[in-house]
Amino acid sequence: MQAKKRYILVFVSCAFLAYCYFGGYRLKVAPHRPRRAQHESAKDGGVQPYAQLPSFMGYEQRQPLTNESTVAVATAAAPGKRKPPVAACRMETCFDFTKCYDQFLVYVYPPEPLNSLGAAPPSSPNYQKILTAIQESRYHTSDPAAACLFVLGIDTLDRDSLSEDYVRNVPSRLARLPHWNNGRNHIIFNLYSGTWPDYAEHSLGFDAGEAILAKASMSVLQMRHGFDVSIPLFHKQFPLRAGATGSVQSNNFPANKKYLLAFKGKR
């Protein structure tokens, strides 16, 4: 009886060792046996074994490269041969500094000629204040060849198609500008974009190209950091110049308040 128990114990031990040896060996060499993997994939209808495993990559990571991403990669690999995507514009990629080294000058496009009815192109009082402030500053130049920055004579502040200050046919107007160059070294001012009911932030009604956007209430998702400029929203009755002397006793900047409140309203 004792001998039978010893034989059974030896048999079970040998079977266990054989299972551990051959099972561990198979797991160890499986990644290095492509022929067997191909054989198993042929039996499964041509599906590779790793294709049946769950993926931990996100959906966006598994998508093929789009045209925009391809252009971005090509631009990084061969700078100067392709223009970067507009969404990736930075001062280093979409701005020409060669005219800004000696002095910083700003050119304002002259008003468009009168139309067939003898009416002047529409322009809001707020935009006229911006142009007047630039033209009366020491940075203004009437020579476009010496300018570092270009400001449109086209009013782009209110891009709500239901507004009375909305300027139509902006794309064709931009195409007629002699120094447009896809917006490079241009700055576009905007306070309102889109129209009722959603007021989409990116809905300007025209392609700004490589121009800098000086825009009010710009979200961090739409703003091109290091390129665009966030400006405050000012009312139509905002004065061009200050009146009486202010009563501020000290210049406490930056403000030491923790919370700052702003409100953007239209109607």
**pLDDT per residue over 93-139, tens digit each?**
999 999 899 899 999 999 887 676 667 778 899 999 999 999 999 99
Average of pLDDT values for 72-94?
A: 62
Average of pLDDT values for 39-60?
A: 45
Confidence bin at 48 (pLDDT 50/70/90): very low
The predicted pLDDT at position 1 comes to 56
Among the residue ranges 45-54, 57-66, 197-206, the one predicted with the least confidence is: 57-66
Name the E strands within the chain: 106-108, 140-141, 149-151, 158-159, 186-190, 192-193, 212-216, 229-231
The three-class DSSP label of residue 171 is: helix
Tell me how far apart the alpha carbons of residues 230 and 220 are, in angstroms, rounded to a whole number.
Answer: 10
End-to-end CA distance of the chain: 101
Cα→Cα distances 152→187, 214, 235, Å: 7, 12, 21
pLDDT tens-digit map of 158-168: 999 988 889 99
Cβ(124)–Cβ(165) below 8 Å = yes
pLDDT tens-digit map of 222-240: 899 889 999 888 877 777 7
Tell me how far apart the alpha carbons of residues 185 and 99 are, in angstroms, rounded to a whole number.
Answer: 10
Cβ(167)–Cβ(155) below 8 Å = yes
The predicted pLDDT at position 81 comes to 42
Confidence bin at 85 (pLDDT 50/70/90): low
Say whether pLDDT at 29 is over 70.
no
Q: The pTM is what? A: 0.61
Query: Which tokens sit at 93?
Result: 């990629």
Where do the domains of the chain lie? Answer: 89-240
